[in-house]
Amino acid sequence: MSSFNCEHCGAPCLDSPAGYTTGCEHYPPDVPKIPDIIRQCLIEWMVQTVQEISEDGWAATWYSGIEHLAWDAMHGKKIDGLHFYSTKRALRKLKEVSDYLGVWVHWDKKVGEPRSIPVGVWVKIHEAKGGRIDD
């Protein structure tokens, strides 16, 4: 199972540990559709929470590469600066919300602010970085 675009209508069908979170009439999603307002609030919460983690660890609103560090920490890697009890708790919730929505948040250089990105797209960006966070 992985994310794909419907071959009939082109709709993105996003896979997540909770099942397909988006779909279409040909491939109905596995999880109930999340109302747009709730989805938007959850994404804003994700951005705010990553910002708080960044502030706590680096006294910066969006420490360069924080989304990579937080992602690695969410998946069990030990990261200096992300060892606070409150941060660990926040990361656990971030992972649950990210899994459920099928998105992660990252710094979008084109718009100059954090935006959500489908997890499938994010993982490719993250892997291409090979753990480096220098830009």
> Among residues 1, 5, 9, 48, which is the contact residue for Zn ion, using CB under 5 A?
9
Tell me the two tokens of residue 29.
Answer: 């999603």
Measured from the CB atom, the residue of 6 and 79 that comes closer to Zn ion is 6
Minimum distance of Zn ion from residue 69's CB (angstroms)? 37
The reply to whether 31 sits near Zn ion by the rule CB under 5 A is no
Measured from the CB atom, the residue of 26 and 77 that comes closer to Zn ion is 26
The reply to whether 8 sits near Zn ion by the rule CB under 5 A is yes
The reply to whether 18 sits near Zn ion by the rule CB under 5 A is no
DSSP the chain: ---EE-TTT--EE---TTS-SS--SSS--SSPPPPHHHHHHHHHHHHHHHHHHHHHHHSSTT-TTHHHHHHHHHTT---TT--SHHHHHHHHHHHHHHHHHTEEEEEETTTTEEEEEEHHHHHHHHHHHTT----
Q: Which residue is nearest to Zn ion (CB)?
A: 6
> Among residues 24, 79, 117, 121, which is the contact residue for Zn ion, using CB under 5 A?
24
Contact set with Zn ion (CB under 5 A): 6, 8-9, 11, 24, 26
